[in-house]
Chains A and B, each alone.
Chain A
Amino acid sequence: MSIMMPGMAKASSWIPHLEAYVDASCSPDKQVASIDAIAALMKSDLLTVEALVREMEMYLTTTDNVIRARSILLLSEVLACLISKPLDSATVHSLITFFTARLADWQALHGALNGCLALLRRKSNTGAASNSDARLLAKSFLENIQVQSLAQYDRKLCFELLGHLYDWFADAIIPLADDLIFGICDAIDEEKDPQCLILAFHLVEKLVRLFPDPQGPLGSFAADLFEILGRYFPIYFTHPENNDVGVKREDLSRALMCAFGSSPVFEPYVIPLLLEKLSSSLSLAKLDSLKYLSHCSLHYGADRMTKHVKAIWSSLKDIILSSSEELIFPFEQEHTGSQNDEIIKEALLCLQKVMFQFGSSDDASFISLVVEDAELMMIMRSFSSDRSYADIPGDGRQKLHALGSILSISAKVSISCCQNVMKSFFPLLMELLGISSSNLSCNPISEGIVAETKKLNFGALYLCVELLAACRELATGLGEVAGQSPQAQDMWCNMFCNYFGPLTGYLGSSLVVIGNNANKEAYAHIGAKGMETIATISGCFVRGLKAVYESILVLFMSIISTQSHDKFLWHLTLKTVVKIGKAVLKFQDSDNMTSFMSIVIEKLIFLLSVDDAIIPLPLILEAISEISAAGTSFLLRVIKGIEEALSVNFSHTLVRNSKNSEILVNLLLCYSTHLLPRLQNVDVFEKVALRFLFNVWDQMENPVFEVPSQKEDLLDAIMIATRTTVSGCSPENQGLIVQKAFKVFLSSAFLQVKETESWLTSFKLEELAQDFSIFSHRDEWVISLFASVLISLHPQTPIPDVKVILNIFMTILLLKGHVPVAQALGSIINKWPLKVKAADALIGCTLDEVLEVIFERGFQTVLCLTKPCGSIGSIQVHATVGLGWIGKGLVMRGHEKVKDVVMLLLKCIRLKKLGPENGQDFDDLVRRSAPDAFRLLMSDSEVCLNKKFHATLRPLYKQHFFSTMMPLFLSSIKECESLATRAIHFRAFGHVVSETPVIALVTEAKKLVPILLESLSTLCEDVLNKDLTYSLLLVLSAILMDENGKETILDNGHIIIALLFKLVPYPHMMLVRETAIQCLSAMSLLPHPRIYPFRPQVLQTLSKALDDKKRAVRLEAVRCHQAWASTARSLHF
């Protein structure tokens, strides 16, 4: 009888769960639920383990196999749920003793295993199994269980159980040594399930870790263990790629590899097996063997591997040399990722690893194998007969590549290896090239001219370059570790530096060799790579070779300055020079840097000043900008050079008014868009930028300076340069620039008509119009540049006499419609400080006051003029442009005054016609230009008012503007009666809607869609609106595709369909037709009862679209036709 304690659950409340689980006829869902229920009771302490066990006694000990097995399983499952619940050690002990004993009960084994595992998994802080328990468990396991006779799931449990014993109870099971190893062998023998296998492989690894001593128990079992493991190699996996087992071939293979490499005792068995499989015809086996070989040889250690070295070398060599395909040289772009390639790659990797192992020890046996190999030598000698690249047959090229990789890898291992390889091969290669030690003193360049006439030995050249590149890589690595190594210095000087002179000549002629395309490219690549290698070696690592280094640079520069017609060679050379420049900078050798500077950089800068250089200016600039990217010191010199060229050209173009401004434009663009942005250091940038800007303004101030007429591209280039330089400066320096610019601006001729202060008082535009008619080109330049400066300022930068500037700019804007001025106004308004400090005398008024002045004095009066006088019409057009930019500044900062701008613009649209005699055309122009102002207002600009030019941005400003202004628009549209006015309204509306993010539109879809549809159907009447029509159609399609827009679309279904019918034959723009058909396709997905009535008409319209002139439209029509045709079960055509 159970003892009831207060707070305990009554037995009757959970016994039904117990019975349900034990009853085999119950559904699995119910059984899972009953375990959860019992576990929940125990977790909340309403039921103890003792109580549960006592109550289950009958079930656990019954002779009915099924019930006993089920109840043991129940207990184990419940324990598995309680892993984190603390239990006292006595309970754990008695439970584990119980489950250990049950391991002998084969009918209830599943539950017993499960229970053991659940108990072993417990952590010590919640009550874990003791070591003695674990040992007993292990003993019982080894005595009672025949793993391979069990089902897959139980086998997996067994392996997990063993794994846990190894991981957490190692001390307890070590005394069982022999039994344990034997038991494991027995357990994993013949295992075939991938999940179990991966566990088994890990088990072997852990086992080896438990008994690391090769003389210990493992030693005697190694042969047996390997016999079991070895059968699995190479892993042959028949499960499909995306199997549900969750194990991949790679995982299994890796696990087996770790098991193989886990102990050196496997060495006598593993290495012969791997070597045997290397010669297998199965590529998978080869690949795996190579991977295992590099892994195992690292883990077994050099001592054990020494005896295999010969065999390994000969197998690897065979694989690398015998690849069946013609190997593609790295410079030929196509790459086939075939398995063969992968094998070779792996073999080279393996070779590298093995070499490293032997290269780091004093044992030079491996490298001597390579050096003394007769086959390699034979291949090398064979290249004396096949001389030119085109003459080498496919397999010859492949052998060449293989040999090159072997030599390169061997030379990269260590200094001694490198010396060995170089000693044995380099003189021979030189001999093949015809460079003997007798003619070493030749002048490299003159030798180059001689060599050009004869055929070049490609094979020898290639190998030579590979070797040198390997040496350089080794030296770079060493240099990074311990500075410039004196050993390396000796090595090179003694061995081969003498050859550099003639070799350079040889490579130089290879670079410029004349021949057919493939031949030429191969030679040029080899030449460039070789020269680059020699240049960096002689420039960075070995002293005393300055002549070679400089002669290479001279040769490259002569190609760059004269061979621009050969695009391939020119770009290759440029790239190589950049590489050399980077290397020189990296190794900080002042001598070589000076040479590079004087030979390369100075030469390029000199080319800039030459009027009749062979190479065109854009190419010089490209070369300059590429090379200066190598490092800051080059960049600074280049910038200085360009500045000089700029000032010379400035005076050429502006003072003498020469016709050709192209050079100046190119220089300016290169300077401002390529060179200056690369200056990372802010201080240096600002210094350079200030110098440039002051120079520009000095030129403007210079009375000699004549502004050329019709040089818009030049003005644009200067404006771009001004904007980029100013925007990169700090507010303080910007302040200096503004001061200077303002001074020059005030001295302009056109401003002399009035006193500076008098701009603040009110005046009549008409009076000024007369004065402004003398607006010279020079004035226009000064205004544009001044506006560019203002556009790029930081918000913090103080602007002198800002009120005066605003007034002057307003006047210029209204009279001249000068766009940069409008942008500058927008910028100033956008960046106006939110709160003005009282002390801030420069500004002195708030944004609201300024806006009031601008609106009242400027726009309001102008736009409300009812009587046109003189050129008032054009003034009104200019006013709308200004409103657009100023409005944009306001919208971006989220200012509520933008409402006034919108109201003014809407007013423009509604302007009454003044009658035919009073310049109707102008009237129409104003009404037409107002919608364009809305486009300016909403669209993003590259030129100003963006992040780069420090604009004040309110998050989600477009959404905000849309949601506050939409009611204004809608009511204004509703009020207007005339069709023409309505159409203009729709254009304005279209510009706003097409720039607003779709999310904002969808939320307003209900109000928006009817107007959108009406505007679309109005706008598509006029060809001029085709772009707008397209963007609005895109908006409609976005709403169509949005889940939230569905309801509105359904409500307006028939209007939308009618509109789309109108747009499908739209003659002016293919994209509109295509998008309209796509919209129709999207409509076919709406609920069928609603759209079914349209079906016949849609199909009819589409059959006309099948005959469209454009293929894209026809294809879209077919797709759409199919979508609509299949909306009905039976298809009628």
Chain B
Amino acid sequence: MTLGLINANPVVHAKKERIARVEDSHADDAVDPLEIYDSVRDIRDPEHPYSLEQLSVLSEESITVDEKLGRILITFTPTIQHCSMATVIGLCLRAKLMRCFPPHYKVDIYVSPGSHANEESVNKQLNDKERVAAALENPNLRQLVDECLYSNEL
């Protein structure tokens, strides 16, 4: 682990106000980007007590979903180019989605093009089933991910 913070002074954005949805009592509610965004926006950043939403790592527009094919695509933007936390953030996203959505969805997670120095390797690592499974077996990583997902610090 590196000593000191990788991005010591991140830019913090305001949280967007949440609008309660008007429930239609008869129609089915399809899974939409907002629902996915709602489930991941509060994930805490691995090194700061801010949510991914506040650090502008994620936005509703960066999420697409195709319910028929059962695919979810998330593109996120690390706060700085050489952020070594990018993989942890990706892992958190994946872990959270695994818990919130049924297993028949195929989830793709990418860093947004040009936002990271090792873009290709990060993308490869995040979408490799075996490596994700292995990472989640690692007790240290597992603890870090859980802290990010269920933190009360926000």
Contact = CB atoms under 8 A, between A and B. Distances in A.
B154 to A, nearest CB: 16
Contacts of A1103: 102-103
Interface in A1091-1110: 1103-1104, 1106-1107, 1109-1110
Contacts of A1122: 99, 150
A1116 to B, nearest CB: 12
Given A1118-B39, A1122-B150, A1111 B100 contact: no
A1085 to B, nearest CB: 17
A589 B113 CA distance: 80
B110 to A, nearest CB: 23
A1125 B101 CA distance: 15
Given A1118-B39, A1122-B150, A1112 B23 contact: yes
Nearest to B29: A1111
B35 interface: yes
Contact of B146 (A1070, A1110, A1111, A1131): A1131
Interface string A1121-1133: 1100110000101
A1121 B102 contact: no
B61 interface: no
Interface in B79-102: 98-102
Contacts of B17: none
A1101 to B, nearest CB: 13
Nearest to B38: A1115
A1107 B104 contact: yes
B86 to A, nearest CB: 23
Interface residues of B, number: 17
Interface in B96-144: 98-104, 142
Question: Chain A contact residues: over half helix, strand or loop, or mixed?
Answer: helix
Contacts of B103: 1103
B37 to A, nearest CB: 13
B139 to A, nearest CB: 8
B99 A1070 contact: no
A1121 B97 CA distance: 13
B18 interface: no
A1131 B141 CA distance: 13
B33 to A, nearest CB: 13
A1104 B142 CA distance: 24
B28 interface: yes
B146 A1118 contact: no
A1070 B25 contact: yes
A1118 B95 CA distance: 13
A1125 B102 CA distance: 16
Nearest to B34: A1111
Contact of B101 (A1106, A1112, A1126): A1106
A552 B150 CA distance: 66
Given A1112-B23, A1131-B146, A1107 B29 contact: no
Contact of A1133 (B35, B99, B101): B99
Nearest to A1104: B102
Interface string A128-162: 00000000000000000000000000000000000
Contacts of B35: 1111, 1114
A1109 B102 CA distance: 12
A1121 B35 CA distance: 17
B25 A1106 contact: no
A1103 B150 CA distance: 19
B21 interface: yes
Given A1118-B39, A1122-B150, A1106 B100 contact: yes
Contacts of B102: 1103-1104, 1106-1107
Nearest to A1111: B29
Given A1118-B39, A1122-B150, A1131-B146, A1110 B29 contact: yes
A1112 B146 CA distance: 24
A1107 B100 CA distance: 9
Contacts of A1109: 28-29
Contacts of A1133: 98-99
Nearest to A1112: B23
Given A1118-B39, A1131-B146, A1111 B21 contact: yes
A1114 B150 CA distance: 18
Nearest to B136: A1133
Nearest to B26: A1070
Nearest to A1113: B29
A1118 B28 contact: no
A1121 B99 contact: yes
Given A1110-B29, A1114-B100, 5 more contacts: A1104-B102, A1106-B102, A1109-B28, A1111-B21, A1133-B98
27 contacts: A1070-B25, A1103-B102, A1103-B103, A1104-B102, A1106-B100, A1106-B102, A1107-B102, A1107-B104, A1109-B28, A1109-B29, A1110-B28, A1110-B29, A1111-B23, A1111-B29, A1111-B35, A1112-B29, A1114-B35, A1114-B100, A1118-B39, A1118-B99, A1122-B99, A1125-B99, A1126-B150, A1131-B142, A1131-B146, A1133-B98, A1133-B99
8 shortest interchain CB distances as A-B pairs: A1107-B102, A1111-B29, A1109-B28, A1106-B102, A1118-B100, A1110-B29, A1106-B101, A1121-B99
